[in-house]
Structure 1
Amino acid sequence: MAVKGSIPKTMKALVAYSKDDYRLELAYPTPECGPDDIIIKTEACGICAGDLKCKHGAAMFWGDDVQPSWVKPPFIPGHEFYGTIVQMGENVEGYELGEKITADQIVPCGKCKFCKDGHYWMCQPHDMYGFMSYTNGGMAEYVRYGKTSVISKVPENMPLEQAALIEPYGCSKHAVDRAEITNEDVVVISGAGTLGLGMITYARMKNPKKLIVLDMQENRLDMAKKFGADLVFNPGKCDIDKEIKAITDGYGCDIYIEATGNPASVVQGLTIIRKLGTFVEFSVFGKETTVDWSIIGDRKELDIRGAHLSPYAYPFVIENMMNGNLKTEGVITTILPIEEWEKGFDLASGREGDLKVVLTFD
């Protein structure tokens, strides 16, 4: 087998052996390059809310009495990453050593009904970078992209502060696209974290009648204004239902996009959305959410839409970050070396006001 490029036999990597056993390994085996594979040297990897919830043992990852375990340890976390090509298999075409690339979080099988009809992000096996031992993620010096990886090229002059946001902004784009916003819609986005800010700056491009953002943190509401929100409210300081109804002649918002992962935000959304409105749910939840489902059907006849991952989004996101249409300034608040991963995970919780925390490699 002919392989272009060479890499060391071992690398630094954060490895999850169980929900209670995450270790920084200094001599972990580097991935082997098969004939259809690409190996990248990781430049940066963001810490996602999903990474935090996985580390904290959320049942949707590790299973419980109701659902089986989904993750397959030992695995290397991280799905918000990009890097430089350092090795390629003999069958790889269209790429060169030294190019920067990234890939969708999903690693589609290419064979199931969803892959075959173009809905690759809902692939039935649903292997994803950062959660399986055979699809290790970006919290390591080197990562292997397989034959079915959905790869996008990253411009050489794209700064880390943008490139490390491609994956979350791709998810933001897909969520907003699911809402089908028009210029007659009053849109409420609940949550102004990294994903919420990505939604705000993209939703602004849709020119809605009114773009309203909710968050419990004032610094995030300030960012929301800079990113295009017309109005911002802190649910902890005012009656959101009263405020939204006042703006909409008593009807409620046309579209509500939930981006907090907090059960209270779901109940809030069902309260302030108008009859025949569209509710988009994106978040990963750490626990179950209970609502009165009669609101959805009998009372309001709502369209409830989920949003998962970032299909077909990367090229648009990359182009519009580079041309300035998608705002990114200030979203990445902390950059740390992989050796400080524990501090990074702690800060990524937002307890000290951070938005996106990114890990890097020498």
Structure 2
Amino acid sequence: MKAAFVTGPNTLEIREVPDPVPGDRDVVVKMRACGICGSDTSYYVMGALPGYPAMPGGLPIGHEPTGVVSAVGKDVTGLAEGDAVFINPMAAPSGVIGNGGRLGALAEYVLVEDCEVGVSVKKIRDDIPFEVTALNEPMAVALHAVNRGEPLPTDKVVIFGAGPIGLGALIWLKLRGVDHVVVADVQQDRLDLAKRMGADAVLDSSGSPEEVTAQLMELHGSAANGIGLPRAGTDLYIDVAGAQASFDAIVASAKTRARVSTAGVYKHALSLDMSMALMAELDLRWAMGYPTEIFDVTDQLAEHWEQFAPMISHRIPFADLQKGFDLLTTPSGAVKVSILFD
């Protein structure tokens, strides 16, 4: 079969490797779609996964896998050849699929080791496009970021970052009945998409923190921090941008006891104005991955799949994988790139 590896900075290789052979407790899944994540592009640019030793032959990549079962070990129950499934990349005993483990999902077949339904995989509807069901993993990240923020229906919320995680957070918030959700970004085309996908308002966050605060005050009303300085009435900030400017804007606009859930991956050390955070008694929460959400997403994604589908901006054959990485590492207007397999 063919599989993709990062073999150096900005170097991607698709090469022939042995077909996976399932053991008694394993299954093999023929891939149908796998999204390219922002972490994949980071590994591609850096040529490796930070903090992990270099892997002989390169780093297997891809961790948003969905496909059809093609072989089943004799001790596996609850699955049969032909079942459509989503694979939980975190459940692989040999390491996270596509994130330092020995397997990657940007490959024609994926071995699911020690396969257990409800832990390793979950069956999915086969009448939904596979590129949409492949959103399961990033939408679990988005759901965990929302859950960490503990939104109330009456909350006024702003999401910094209109990529797939931010757009997913928008959908989860609106499905939960949250009253008013603003999406902030520096790219107008992404803001336009957020508006089409249900944002109550959008905000160009390319200005100064003071300018962003003024815009939020217009949208969410006025409040104050602990020493009476005027601040936005925003209750919850969800940060998925991973940018210093976004966090500066959050701290500058935060009212007393505003909540912040951040799932943003910061490529550089973050500077935090502790005095301003103290004055707001800022409630800062970090959201990493999806401790419990990976299969909470699956049925909801199936029920509302047409709401999620618009974030997929490009569908590219596996043979043209390099094009997908080029789109996401250069200014292109790409939001979510899904790689499709025959």
For normalisation by structure 2, the TM-score amounts to 0.88
Q: How far does the alpha carbon of each residue in 1:98-128 deviate from its partner, in whole angstroms, 9 at most, with x for none? A: 101112231266xxxxxxxxxxxxxxx9x31
Distance 2:189 2:34 in 1: 24
Cα distance between partner residues in 1 of 2:280 and 2:207: 27
- Cα drift, residue 301 of structure 1: 1.7
Structure 2 unaligned spans of 5+: 224-230
Query: Counterparts of 2:315 and 2:254 in 1: how far apart (Å)?
Result: 38
The yes-or-no answer on 1:131 pairing with 2:99 is yes
State the shift of 1:319 in Å: 2.2
Equivalent-residue separation in structure 2 for 1:288 and 1:70 (angstroms):
22
Which of residues 70, 74, 81 in structure 2 aligns to 1:90?
74
1:266 is paired with a residue of what secondary structure? helix
Preserved CA contact (<8 Å) 1:338 1:361? yes
Residue aligning to 2:39: 50
**RMSD across aligned positions (CA):** 2.3
CA distance in 2, matches of 1:222, 1:18: 36
| Match of residue 259 from structure 1 | 240
Confirm whether residue 140 of structure 1 aligns to residue 107 of structure 2.
yes
AA aligned opposite 1:337: P
Find the counterpart in structure 2 of residue 118 from structure 1. none
Q: Matched residues, percent identical?
A: 28
1:268-298, Cα deviation, whole Å (9 max, x unpaired): 22222222111111022222222223333x3
> 1-side partners of 2:46 and 2:305: how far apart?
37
Alignment match of 2:176 (pick from 194, 199, 206): 206
**For the residues of structure 2 that align with 1:32 and 1:338, how far apart are their CA atoms?**
22
Q: Structure 1 residues 312-321 or 40-49, which shifts more?
A: 312-321
Equivalent residue for 1:276?
Answer: 257
Of 136-145 and 240-249, more deviation after overlay is shown by 240-249
Q: Is the 8 A contact 1:171 1:309 kept in 2?
A: yes
The 2-side partners of 1:179 and 1:261 are apart by 17
Residue 107 of structure 2 aligns to which amino acid in structure 1? A
Q: Secondary structure at the match of 1:271?
A: helix
Residue equivalent to 1:115: none
- SS of equivalent residue, structure 2 residue 138: helix
Aligned equivalents of 1:132, 1:326: Cα separation in 2? 32
Q: How does 1:17-166 map to 2 (within 5 A)?
A: 17-19=7-9, 21-25=11-15, 27-57=16-46, 61-62=49-50, 68-69=51-52, 72=55, 74-107=58-91, 127-134=95-102, 136-147=103-114, 150-166=120-136
The DSSP-based 3-state class of the residue aligned with 1:348 is helix
The alpha-carbon deviation at position 346 of structure 1 amounts to: 1.2
The total of aligned residue pairs comes to 327
Stretch moving more, 136-145 or 304-313: 304-313
Partners of 2:305 and 2:84 in 1: CA distance: 22
Matching of residue 289 in structure 1 with residue 261 in structure 2: no
Equivalent residue, structure 1, for 2:228: none
Match for 2:114: what amino acid? K
- Equivalent residue runs for 1:212-361 within 5 Å: 212-236=182-206, 239-246=211-218, 247-250=220-223, 251-252=231-232, 253-296=234-277, 298-324=278-304, 327-349=307-329, 351-361=331-341
Q: What is the TM-score with the length of structure 1 in the denominator?
A: 0.83
TM-superposed deviation, 1:96: 0.7
CA–CA separation in structure 1 for the residues paired with 2:11 and 2:327 = 19
Indicate yes or no: 2:158 matched with 1:175. Answer: no
SS of the residue 1:319 aligns to: helix
Q: Distance in 2 between matches of 1:217 and 1:332?
A: 16
Which amino acid in structure 1 is aligned with residue 150 of structure 2?
E
Unmatched segments (≥5 aa) in structure 1: 1-10, 63-67, 110-124
The answer for the alignment partner of 1:189 in structure 2 is 159
For residue 72 of structure 1, report the CA deviation from its aligned partner.
Answer: 4.3
Cα deviation, residue 255, structure 1? 0.7
How far is 1:261 from its partner? 2.0
Q: CA deviation at 1:176?
A: 0.6
CA distance in 2, matches of 1:226, 1:317: 22
